[in-house]
Amino acid sequence: MSRRFVGLGFTILLIGLLSACTLISAGPEARFGASPVVVYAGETVTFDASASTGSSAIVSYTWDLGNGATSAGQVVTATYPSAGTYTVRLTVRDTDGKTDAIEERLTVYLRSGTVLFAEDFADGPKALGHWPLDPTWATDGDATVDQIAGAPGYALYIHSGNARWHRRYTAVALPPLRVGQSAVFSCRVMTLQNQDLHTFLFSPARLDLDSIAGSLPYYVYTGTGGGSYVHEPSEYGSDIPRPVAFVPDVYRWHTYTFFYRAGAYELEIDGISVYSGTLTADFSETGDWVLLLGEESVTEACKAYFDDIRVSIEE
Ligand SMILES: [Ca+2]
Ligand SMILES: [Ca+2]
């Protein structure tokens, strides 16, 4: 026998041995799919493990559904009342007692049109309780909820002086956004002065009170001298002011609406797009955000009403 045939024979023997080993050690392989592909909170999702394989028959399928519940069976259903991401774990066992497990991440979305938060200050002064004060350089008395004659009814009035700032905030939990969805933050503001470099701030989605780098773009009005700006937080812990060709009219309500979606954002004022840019911050970082109203300058003053604050998920 030539050397070549000896080599071939050895190779065949090796493959044979490896195959035998594989055959002896082969257990089941867990696999499953979810339906529908896009899952919304409160709706039924079906998990189907019939794609699982094994050299021996699979006799049990057990599930950790990631929402605190467990289940058993080749095909099971579950509902997730809250949007978020869940880890679903399937374990299969065959007649030989061998097991295999697999984990898949399941993202649960909210339907477009869902309102996450709405505030019209209808509670009157008690509504201040929904908006804790950020006490840094602030005085509680610099904000009141006042009745305004006419349509808006009660509104939040922030009138902090030059030497202080005044920020009120509320926490907003954002769900994961499906491709095509935006998180929409809207607020009506009426300023009482447009000179002396007064400021108002509408900061829809900070990570926390002190996190500039973790913030999303926000709107600042600084008076006729400086105009108004969208501030884009940068990676360096500061932000880049982008001039907006808009100066609010005094004693007149304007509606400011931010649309945040994957990789991009847009600001509309009174339904007209005034700025759009790239979004470097990421909604997936955390679901917990902070919405800030007021002003944050210790050299400038504020006199502005805020009303009809709304956060929703839109297409
Ligand atoms: Ca109101
Ligand atoms: Ca101030």
Instruction: Kindly report, residue by residue over 107-150, the tens digit of the pLDDT.
Output: 999 999 999 999 999 999 999 999 999 888 788 889 999 998 77
Q: Tell me how far the alpha carbon of residue 175 lies from the centroid of ligand 1, in angstroms.
A: 26
For residue 149, the ligand closest to its alpha carbon is: 1
For residue 300, the ligand closest to its alpha carbon is: 2
Q: Tell me how far the alpha carbon of residue 238 lies from the centroid of ligand 2, in angstroms.
A: 19
Per DSSP, 111 falls in state -
Sign of torsion, CA 250 260 39 83? negative
| Distance in angstroms (rounded) separating the CA atoms of residues 137 and 209 | 13
Q: Give the CA-trace dihedral at 206, 209, 210, 216, to 10 degrees.
A: 10
Q: What's the Cα-to-Cα distance from 223 to each of 5, 162, 218, 249, 310, rounded to whole Å? A: 90, 13, 16, 11, 25
The dihedrals phi and psi of 161, each to the nearest 5 degrees, come to -90, -175
| Distance in angstroms (rounded) separating the CA atoms of residues 66 and 108 | 12
Q: Tell me how far the alpha carbon of residue 272 lies from the centroid of ligand 2, in angstroms.
A: 29
> What protein residues have CB closer than 5 angstroms to ion ligand 1?
120-121, 152-154, 307
Asked if 27-109 and 115-314 have one fold, the answer is no
pLDDT of residue 6: 46
Q: Three-state secondary structure along 214-272?
A: CCCCEEEECCCCCCEEEEEECCCCCEEEEEECCCCCECCEEEEEEEEECCEEEEEECCE
Domain ranges of the chain: 27-109, 115-314
The CATH code of domain 27-109 reads 2.60.40.10
pLDDT of residue 253: 94
For residue 152, the ligand closest to its alpha carbon is: 1
Asked: is 115-314 a CATH 2.60.120.200 domain? The reply is: yes
For residue 298, the ligand closest to its alpha carbon is: 2
Q: Tell me how far the alpha carbon of residue 226 lies from the centroid of ligand 1, in angstroms.
A: 29
Q: Tell me how far the alpha carbon of residue 314 lies from the centroid of ligand 2, in angstroms.
A: 34
pLDDT of residue 223: 80
Q: Tell me how far the alpha carbon of residue 110 lies from the centroid of ligand 2, in angstroms.
A: 38
pLDDT of residue 237: 64
Q: Tell me how far the alpha carbon of residue 197 lies from the centroid of ligand 1, in angstroms.
A: 26
pLDDT of residue 148: 87
Q: Tell me how far the alpha carbon of residue 162 lies from the centroid of ligand 1, in angstroms.
A: 27
For residue 154, the ligand closest to its alpha carbon is: 1
Whole-model pTM? 0.84
Q: Tell me how far the alpha carbon of residue 120 lies from the centroid of ligand 1, in angstroms.
A: 4
pLDDT tens for the chain, residues 1 to 315: 444 444 444 444 444 444 444 445 579 999 999 999 999 999 999 999 999 999 899 999 999 999 999 999 999 999 999 999 999 999 999 999 999 999 999 999 999 999 999 999 999 999 999 999 988 878 888 999 999 877 789 999 999 888 888 999 999 999 999 999 999 999 999 998 876 677 899 999 888 887 776 788 999 998 877 789 999 887 666 788 999 989 898 899 999 999 999 889 999 999 999 999 998 777 666 788 999 999 888 888 889 999 999 999 999
For residue 305, the ligand closest to its alpha carbon is: 1
